[in-house]
Amino acid sequence: MTAPLLSAQALSKRYGAIVACRDVSFDLSEGEALAIVGESGSGKTTLLNLIAGALAPDAGEVVYRLRDGATRALSSLSDAERRGLMRTDWGFVHQDSSRGLRMNVSAGGNIGERLMALGDCHYGRIRENALEWLGRVEIAAARVDDQPTAYSGGMRQRLQIARNLVTRPRLMFMDEPTGGLDVSVQARLLDLLRGLIADMGLAVVLVTHDLAVARLLSHRILVMKESQVVESGLTDRVLDDPQAPYTQLLVSSVLAA
């Protein structure tokens, strides 16, 4: 069996007296989508930031297998290596698109930024790439020179995804990617994401409070409550046959349309 792409080992984080994340461990294989669900304040976002290296854990470690096959602890990477990783092998889709996009730069520039950061100095090639990726996220090529401020919420999220995928990363972090979108736009975005994840063999760590999103996108699920993982397993198993009382409550709280 090959080593996991990413492995979280007994991660803990506290903010003063408040424990935000207690002893969380899991493995993520290449091409696997993992959803982290739970109510607001359960520590989902803290866990995501710990895995993505945006926060330093108080205890535990995140181990990642780099493209060259070397397995390294994130804490052992230098700033330059970690930032390089975030620009090439990783993607991060924020709930608030203005955190993930440059709002005063055109869509083409947003998509091209990672390529330029890697040293591509050919305008025609960068633009071709930008147009190709706009097409793949179903944004009309005519909008390539518009700034994200002129885009709708759903288009902004799709642009964020294109901007991240242009370097063909192996791992994407998503923090409530469908938050604040209306249901028809959500459905379209989820459909698109599902296609891209399958096509590119992306591994995904998805944070959401929406069980339907987790069901559609993820293979496995971690249920968090009060900073701890209360249940984990295959998505269908957890959602159809919840074992922990809290998961049962969560599943039964979903309103049927």
Partner 1 sequence: MTARPYNFAYLDEQTKRMIRRAILKAIAIPGYQVPFASREMPMPYGWGTGGVQLTASIIGPDDVLKVIDQGADDTTNAVSIRAFFAKTAGVETTTDTAAATVIQTRHRVPETPLNPDQILVYQVPIPEPLRFLEPRETETRTMHALAEYGVMHVKLYEDIARHGHIATTYAYPARVADRYIMDPSPIPKFDNPKLDDCPALQLFGAGREKRNYAIPPHTRVVSLDFEDHPFERTKFDAACEFCGASDSFLDEVVIDDKGGRMFVCSDTDYCQKRQAAHAREDDGVESRGAAK
Q: Which residues bind partner 1 (CB under 8 A)?
A: 79-80, 83, 102, 105-106, 108-109, 112-114, 116-119, 121-124, 126-127, 144-145
Shortest Å distance, C-beta 98 to partner 1: 13
For 45-58, the three-class secondary structure string (H helix, E strand, C coil) is HHHHHHHCCCCCCC
- Give the other-Cβ count within 10 Å of 176's Cβ: 20
Q: Quick one: DSSP state of residue 188?
A: H
Shortest Å distance, C-beta 187 to partner 1: 32
CA 230 to each of CA 6, 73, 93, 236: distance values in angstroms, whole numbers, following the listed order: 21, 26, 26, 16
Shortest Å distance, C-beta 70 to partner 1: 20
Of 3, 10, 6, which is closest to residue 27 (Cα–Cα)?
6
Closer Cβ to partner 1, 83 or 99, answer by number: 83
Closer Cβ to partner 1, 108 or 177, answer by number: 108
Shortest Å distance, C-beta 163 to partner 1: 11
Shortest Å distance, C-beta 166 to partner 1: 12
Closer Cβ to partner 1, 15 or 123, answer by number: 123
Shortest Å distance, C-beta 141 to partner 1: 13
Give, rounded to a whole angstrom, the gap between the first and last alpha carbons of the chain. 43
* 29-52 residues labelled b (16+ CB within 10 A) or e (exposed): beebbbbbbbeeebbbbbbbbbbb
CA 187 to each of CA 125, 192, 221: distance values in angstroms, whole numbers, following the listed order: 32, 9, 20
Closer Cβ to partner 1, 41 or 84, answer by number: 84
Closer Cβ to partner 1, 73 or 103, answer by number: 103
Closer Cβ to partner 1, 108 or 242, answer by number: 108
